[in-house]
Amino acid sequence: MKRSDFLEHVAWTGSGIAWSLSAAGVLTSAPAAAATTTFSFVQISDSHIGFTRPENPDVLGTFTKTIAAINALPQQPAFVVHTGDVTHLAKPAQFDAAKQVLSTLKAPLIVLPGEHDVIGSPRGFFDAFARPDAPNGWFAFDQGGIHFLSLVNVFNFEVDGKLGADQLNFVEKDLAAQKASTPIVVFGHVPLYALFPPWGWTTEDGARVLAALRRFDAVTVLNGHIHQIIQHTDGNIRFATAAATAYPQPAPGAADKPGPLKVADDVLLKVLGYRSVELAGDTPARVADHALG
Amino acid sequence: MQRTLIAAAALAACLIGPASAADAAGPGAPMLPSAVTIHIKDFKFNPTPVKIHAGDRVTFINDDDEAHTATANDKSFDSEGLDSGGTWQHVFAKPGTYNYFCELHPYMKATLVVLPAAGAAAK
């Protein structure tokens, strides 16, 4: 992927953000400065395998194209994280098709569920992507001097975006054991802050996690769910929602309702893509989004 | 999740797509006569509230571009994922008031009231 192909934005958590909104509503930018890369990973999201509508009749194709682009990176990421809605309707065949594509990744894979992956029951998701270190779905790990938290906020069916007491207790206990200078990166599906509650784009009990993250020098929270790139900073916490690989959704409040957004065929690949994240030492994370076309 | 684990998984890419005829929620599922049809449109269940009698069959049709579910708050019924154009039928055997919602969009709420079966009161 050439630098000229960067879509949407390139941003640095904390200071040094360099991005702008074009007249067409597309975020474009270039990095403010080069950094020495010591650790990098890639985020993908919302592949919705099984979706067949005109907004993207070939979600498997765009998903495959995404994975091929990641595999073509000159320096492979430490891992690829899929932040949920792997499937559209949590059907076994949809999980199987997604896994077939994901099995071609060169880098290790982390998958967390979106609400579409747990329709009726989380059983299908766990059958496909269970981890021995995450019996409840959520887990923490350390890699490259960074502390990662992979959270699940889609298991409560009656609220779109809820972590629950058990997970909140896990998070608070886990973060209490970390040094304030340790870079923290958090994964989830639904945004952890109140991005647009009328459409369910919020986590009802996310405030307790954010409170536990306040004492750290630099925190990056990466989500999917809304099928578009939105950056938000709240003190030491940088939030970044990711583009989908399947189809876009309207900007918050820009339509009567959320849902698949039909764009011109020659625009679709420009609003789908993946995200690379780089962290160098104790500097804030660099987040860059890359379009498929 | 390690790549090796993913690679070991069964592969069935050819099976994705619209639900099969055997899937009650699929567009090809056989439809039986129902007392009421509830349309899911613009992220709303319509009509609501609905009154039926015990033993009545209800048809749910998803007219939206987005997938939805019709899921009872008490989980006594659940359509599971209804894709765009998908239908699902359910027979309500027990009288009572059933509040239900969409799992994917929980702010979509509706109510279905099941009265005693016609003629039951005369017994």
By C-alpha distance, the chain A residue nearest B83 is A89
Pick from B103, B98, B24: nearest CA to B60: B24
Q: Tokens at residue A225, please?
A: 């769910």
- One digit per residue, the tens of pLDDT, for chain A of length 293 reads 333 333 333 333 333 333 333 333 333 333 434 444 479 999 999 999 999 999 999 999 999 999 999 999 999 999 999 999 999 999 999 999 999 999 999 999 999 999 999 999 999 999 999 999 999 999 999 999 999 999 999 998 677 789 999 999 999 999 999 999 999 999 999 999 999 999 999 999 999 999 999 999 999 999 999 999 999 999 999 999 999 999 999 999 999 999 999 999 999 999 999 999 999 876 678 999 999 99
pLDDT of the residue at A140: 98
pLDDT of the residue at B5: 30
Cβ separation of B65 and A53 shorter than 8 Å? yes
Range of the domain at A29: 3-291
Residue B32 contacts A where some CB pair is shorter than 8 Å: no
Give B120's pLDDT tier (boundaries 50, 70, 90).
Answer: low
Q: What is the number of domains present in chain A?
A: 1
pLDDT of the residue at B28: 58
Cβ separation of B15 and A96 shorter than 8 Å? yes
Instruction: Select from B1, B3, B108 the residue whose CB has the most chain A CBs within 10 Å, as the one to mutate to test that interface.
Output: B1
Q: Tokens at residue A92, please?
A: 């076994």
pLDDT digits (tens, 9 = 90+) for B79-95: 999 999 999 999 999 99
User: Which chain A residues contact residue B78 at CB under 8 A?
Assistant: 120
pLDDT of the residue at A101: 98
Nearest to A90 among B19, B65, B81 (CB): B81
By C-alpha distance, the chain A residue nearest B64 is A259
Which superfamily is assigned to B26-122 in CATH?
A: Cupredoxins -  blue copper proteins (2.60.40.420)
Nearest CA distance, A253 vs chain B (angstrom) = 14
CATH number of the domain that residue A179 is part of: 3.60.21.10
The domain limits of chain B are: 26-122
Cα–Cα distance for residue pair B72/A193, rounded to 1 Å: 28
Q: Which long-range contacts (CB under 8 A, 24 or more apart) does B120-123 make?
A: B120/B54
Cβ separation of A259 and B64 shorter than 8 Å? yes
Residue B18 contacts A where some CB pair is shorter than 8 Å: yes
- Whether ipTM > 0.90 holds is no
- DSSP 8-state class, residue A205: T
Nearest to B17 among A52, A131, A157 (CB): A52
